[in-house]
C-alpha cells in the first residue's frame, strides 16, 4: 500500500475514533499526557519551550526591522516551523509567529493527531454547554501578566510589526480582547485587529454581529466608554476559543475545559475588566464612544487588503507585562484558515453526518481562505451520496463557496490527491452543482454586494469527484507493496 493510501486508511480509522471522542470528557482525552498538554495549551511560554524542545521552533538571531522585514522572513517559514525573532529593532522584546500555521504542530501541542483537534474543541464546547456554571475563573491580584507595570503608556515600545507592504500601520493581529457584558458583567473574549495610531491610541475593527459591537452600542447610547483588556501572548486554548463566534458570554470556559482547569484571570490596574493572568502583555483600554477614525488598509485572511475606513477608536490607559515577555503576532493567511478549520470542521461534520451517515471527514482546505472551500469524504454506497453530502455541507456552513466530495481512498488533506480525483472521477456534464444567487461572505472580493452594503450574493459550485456507483474495475486505485524502509540499507 502506498504512503498516500496509508494516510487515507489512518484518516478513516481516525474518523471512527473521532465519533467516540465526542462522547468522552475532554479532561480524559489527554490520558497520561494530560498535564503537559493542558499546561502548554494554557500558557504561551510553556508552549514555546515545548516547541523548541521538539524541534518545531527556529530562532532568528540577526536583528530585524518590525516594519515589513520581520513579516518578509516569516512568510518564508509559513506552514513550516514556528519562528522566534530574538532582536527586533526599537524594542526590548522578542516576537513569536506561526502558532497555527502548521496543523501537525497544533496537533502536537494538543497532544492528539491533527485530525482530532476540531473534535477536541467541539468536545470542550459540548462540556461547557452542558453546565455553564462550572470552570469559572479565579481573579488574581498579582500574576505573571502584571509582573511589570509600565509607568507610562507607550505602544511604540512593543515590537508590533507592519506586516504587508500596503498595511496602514503597526498591527496587533493576534491579541485576545476581554470585555464585560454591561448588563450581566459576564466576560466575553474575541480577537480584533488593532492598528497603532499614537503611543496611547489604536483604531480597530468590529465586524457585524460581534458581542463587542453590541456592548459598545449600549454604551454609546449613554455616550460612555467601554472598557476592555487586550491580551497578547496567550495560551493556544484561550486563543482558539476566542476565535469561535456567536457562542455567547462566558465562552472562555471552553478554554478551561480544554486545559482541564479554570483559566486564570487577573485584576486590571485601571479598568473593571479582567485580563488573562498568564498573558505575556496586557493593554488596558477604553473604547471611546461615538468616535471613528481611520483604520486600514490591512492584509486580510483572503489575501487581499481590507480598505481604509473610519472605524472604532480606543485610548490605552495602562500596559503591564511579564518580566521577559514575548510578543505574539501572525501572518493573516494559513494561520487564520486553520483557526477557522479547528473551530468549524467538527461542527460541519456533526451537522452533515445526521443526514448523510456516509460522511467520513470534512476539511476546510488551504486556498479556501478558511471559510470558502471544503472537501468532504464519503463512503459511497449509492449514486447520489457525493451530491447529497455537497448540498448538506453548503447548508451547514454558509460562507462556503466550493465543496468537493471525494471517496475514502482519496486523501482529503492532500490537494494533489483531491485534484487527481476531480481529474479522473468527475464529469462536468453530470457532476457539477451550480447554485446561483446565494448568500455570500462579504470579505470575499467575488461576492456581489447588496445595494444597502449589508450583505452580498455569490454563485457556489459543488464538484462530485467520487467514482461512479457502482464502482467498476476501471476505478480501482493502483496500489504498491507496503514496506518498512527501516529494513533496508539505503544511503
Q: Find the part of the chain contacting ligand FMN (CB under 6 A) among 47-55, 131-139, 149-157, 203-211.
A: 203-211
Select from 86, 46, 80 the least CA-distant residue to 63: 86
The CA distance from 204 to 202, in Å, is: 6
192 binds ligand FMN (CB under 6 A): yes
365 binds ligand FMN (CB under 6 A): no
Q: Minimum Å distance from CB 261 to ligand FMN?
A: 22
The CA distance from 345 to 118, in Å, is: 6
Nine cell digits for residue 436: 446561483
The CA distance from 276 to 295, in Å, is: 26
Torsion angle of alpha carbons 303, 307, 312, 318, nearest 10°? 50
* 221 to 260: interface string for ligand FMN, x by CB under 6 A: ---------------------xxxxx--------------
Torsion angle of alpha carbons 278, 282, 284, 288, nearest 10°? -120
Q: Which 8-state DSSP code applies to residue 485? A: G
191 binds ligand FMN (CB under 6 A): yes
Phi, psi of 414 (to 5 degrees): -110, 110
Give the one residue of 33, 147, 185, 207 binding ligand FMN; rule: CB under 6 A. Answer: 207
Select from 352, 131, 140, 120 the least CA-distant residue to 244: 120
Residue 8 or 177: which CB sits closer to ligand FMN? 177
126 binds ligand FMN (CB under 6 A): no
* 337 to 356: interface string for ligand FMN, x by CB under 6 A: --x-----------------
Q: Minimum Å distance from CB 167 to ligand FMN?
A: 13
Residue 30 or 110: which CB sits closer to ligand FMN? 110
205 binds ligand FMN (CB under 6 A): yes
Look-up: residue for cell 486523501?
A: 411
Task: Compute the Cα dihedral for 62, 63, 64, 70 and give only its sign.
Answer: positive
Nine cell digits for residue 252: 472562555
Residue 284 or 300: which CB sits closer to ligand FMN? 300
Task: Compute the Cα dihedral for 258, 260, 262, 265 and give only its sign.
Answer: negative
Q: Minimum Å distance from CB 269 to ligand FMN?
A: 25
170 binds ligand FMN (CB under 6 A): no
Residue 173 or 286: which CB sits closer to ligand FMN? 173
Give the one residue of 206, 226, 378, 410 binding ligand FMN; rule: CB under 6 A. Answer: 206
Under 8 Å between Cβ of 84 and 48:
yes
Q: Find the part of the chain contacting ligand FMN (CB under 6 A) among 121-129, 184-192, 318-326, 380-388.
A: 184-192
Rounded to 5°, the CA angle 162-296-313 comes to 105
Give the one residue of 40, 108, 163, 210 binding ligand FMN; rule: CB under 6 A. Answer: 210
Torsion angle of alpha carbons 9, 37, 35, 273, nearest 10°? -140
Residue 57 or 243: which CB sits closer to ligand FMN? 243
Q: Minimum Å distance from CB 122 to ligand FMN?
A: 15
Residue 88 or 205: which CB sits closer to ligand FMN? 205
Over its C-alpha atoms, the chain yields an Rg (Å, rounded) of: 23
Q: Find the part of the chain contacting ligand FMN (CB under 6 A) among 32-40, 63-71, 139-147, 206-214.
A: 206-214
The CA distance from 186 to 125, in Å, is: 17
The CA distance from 136 to 313, in Å, is: 30
Pairing, β 456-464 against β 402-407? parallel
211 binds ligand FMN (CB under 6 A): yes
Estimate the crossing angle of helix 44-53 against helix 34-42, to 10 degrees. 120
Q: Find the part of the chain contacting ligand FMN (CB under 6 A) among 114-122, 188-196, 414-422, 437-445.
A: 188-196
Give the one residue of 175, 188, 203, 231 binding ligand FMN; rule: CB under 6 A. Answer: 188
What is the per-residue DSSP string for 263-297?
Answer: PPEE--SSSSS-EETT-SEEEEEEEEEEEEEEE--
Residue 193 or 441: which CB sits closer to ligand FMN? 193
Size of the site for ligand FMN (CB under 6 A): 20
Q: Find the part of the chain contacting ligand FMN (CB under 6 A) among 129-137, 210-218, 280-288, 443-451.
A: 210-218
Q: Minimum Å distance from CB 192 to ligand FMN?
A: 4
Residue 30 or 204: which CB sits closer to ligand FMN? 204
Residue 247 or 401: which CB sits closer to ligand FMN? 247
Under 8 Å between Cβ of 158 and 331:
no
Binding site for ligand FMN (CB under 6 A): 173-174, 188, 190-193, 205-207, 210-212, 242-246, 336, 339
Amino acid at each position: 500500500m502506498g504512503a498516500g493510501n496509508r494516510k487515507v486508511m489512518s484518516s478513516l480509522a481516525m474518523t471512527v475514533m473521532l465519533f467516540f471522542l465526542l462522547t468522552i470528557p475532554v479532561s480524559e482525552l489527554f490520558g497520561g499526557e494530560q498535564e503537559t498538554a493542558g499546561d502548554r495549551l494554557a500558557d504561551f511560554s510553556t508552549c514555546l519551550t515545548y516547541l523548541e524542545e521538539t524541534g518545531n521552533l527556529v530562532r532568528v538571531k540577526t536583528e530585524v526591522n518590525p516594519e515589513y522585514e520581520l513579516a518578509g522572513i516569516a512568510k518564508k517559514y509559513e506552514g513550516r516551523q514556528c519562528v522566534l525573532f530574538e532582536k527586533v529593532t526599537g524594542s526590548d522584546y522578542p516576537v513569536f509567529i506561526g502558532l497555527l500555521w502548521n496543523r501537525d504542530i497544533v496537533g502536537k501541542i494538543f497532544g492528539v493527531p491533527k485530525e482530532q483537534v476540531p473534535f477536541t474543541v467541539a468536545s470542550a464546547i459540548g462540556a461547557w454547554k452542558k453546565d455553564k456554571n462550572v470552570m469559572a475563573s479565579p481573579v488574581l491580584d498579582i500574576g505573571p501578566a502584571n509582573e511589570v507595570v509600565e509607568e507610562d503608556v507607550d505602544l511604540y515600545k512593543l515590537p508590533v510589526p507592519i506586516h504587508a507592504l500596503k498595511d496602514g500601520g503597526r498591527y496587533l493581529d493576534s491579541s485576545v480582547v476581554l470585555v464585560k457584558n454591561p448588563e450581566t458583567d459576564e466576560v466575553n473574549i474575541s480577537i480584533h485587529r488593532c492598528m497603532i495610531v499614537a503611543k496611547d491610541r489604536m483604531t480597530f475593527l468590529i465586524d457585524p454581529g460581534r458581542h463587542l459591537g453590541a456592548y459598545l452600542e449600549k454604551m454609546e447610547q449613554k455616550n460612555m466608554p467601554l472598557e476592555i483588556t487586550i491580551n497578547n501572548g496567550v495560551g493556544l486554548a484561550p486563543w482558539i476559543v476566542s476565535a469561535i463566534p456567536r457562542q455567547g458570554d462566558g465562552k472562555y470556559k471552553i478554554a478551561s475545559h480544554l486545559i482541564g482547569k479554570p483559566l486564570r484571570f487577573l485584576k486590571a490596574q485601571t479598568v473593571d475588566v479582567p485580563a488573562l493572568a498568564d498573558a505575556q502583555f496586557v493593554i488596558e483600554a477604553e473604547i471611546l464612544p461615538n468616535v471613528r477614525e481611520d483604520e486600514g488598509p490591512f492584509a486580510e485572511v483572503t489575501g487581499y487588503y481590507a480598505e481604509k475606513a473610519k472605524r472604532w477608536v480606543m485610548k490605552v490607559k495602562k500596559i503591564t507585562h511579564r518580566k521577559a515577555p514575548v510578543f505574539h503576532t501572525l501572518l493573516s493567511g494559513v494561520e487564520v484558515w486553520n483557526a477557522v478549520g479547528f473551530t468549524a470542521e467538527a461542527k460541519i461534520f456533526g451537522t452533515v453526518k445526521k443526514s448523510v451517515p456516509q460522511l467520513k471527514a470534512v476539511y476546510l482546505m488551504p486556498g479556501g481562505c478558511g471559510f470558502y472551500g471544503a472537501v468532504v469524504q464519503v463512503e459511497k454506497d449509492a449514486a447520489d451520496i457525493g451530491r447529497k453530502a455537497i448540498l448538506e455541507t453548503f447548508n451547514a456552513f454558509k460562507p462556503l463557496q466550493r465543496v468537493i466530495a471525494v471517496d475514502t481512498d482519496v486523501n482529503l488533506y492532500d490537494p494533489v490527491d483531491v485534484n487527481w480525483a476531480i481529474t479522473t472521477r468527475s464529469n462536468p456534464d453530470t457532476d457539477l452543482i451550480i447554485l446561483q444567487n446565494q448568500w455570500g461572505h462579504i470579505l470575499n472580493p467575488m461576492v456581489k454586494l447588496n445595494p444597502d452594503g449589508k450583505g452580498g450574493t455569490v454563485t457556489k459550485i459543488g464538484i462530485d469527484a467520487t467514482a461512479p456507483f457502482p464502482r467498476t474495475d476501471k476505478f480501482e486505485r493502483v496500489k504498491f507493496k507496503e514496506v518498512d524502509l527501516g529494513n533496508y540499507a539505503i544511503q
